[in-house]
Amino acid sequence: MPPIRRIAVHVDEPAPGQFYWVLMEKSDAARRWDKLESSEEPCSLWLDALEAGVRALTGYAPDERVGPRETAEDENVDPVG
């Protein structure tokens, strides 16, 4: 089974009372966090933004028993290099 993706959800408040959820994914190669997606509209409550972000995160897991997984490489494709 492919490894689980390291996706985090956090809430950003660029202006007072405007809360946006953000999904970030850890990249092994660069040892950095890359933005996957974020809310287009703000929530008025921090908790509402967090809960919406968690719902977005669950969309990356087609099977809730195992969570979001990295894409398995096609074994029939020649390796690069």
pTM for this predicted structure: 0.80
Whether residue 76 lies inside any domain: the answer is no
Helix (H) or strand (E) holding 58: helix 46-58
Whether residue 20 lies inside any domain: the answer is yes
pLDDT tens, 15-69?
A: 999 999 999 999 877 688 999 999 999 999 999 999 999 999 999 999 989 999 9
Q: What is the pLDDT of residue 73?
A: 56
Whether residue 64 lies inside any domain: the answer is no
CB-based contact 34:27 (threshold 8 Å): yes
Domain that holds residue 41: 7-58
Q: How many structural domains does the chain have?
A: 1
Whether residue 33 lies inside any domain: the answer is yes
Q: What is the pLDDT of residue 1?
A: 85
Task: Give residue for tokens 């990295």.
Answer: 70
Whether residue 25 lies inside any domain: the answer is yes
Whether residue 23 lies inside any domain: the answer is yes
Task: Give residue for tokens 């719902």.
Answer: 55
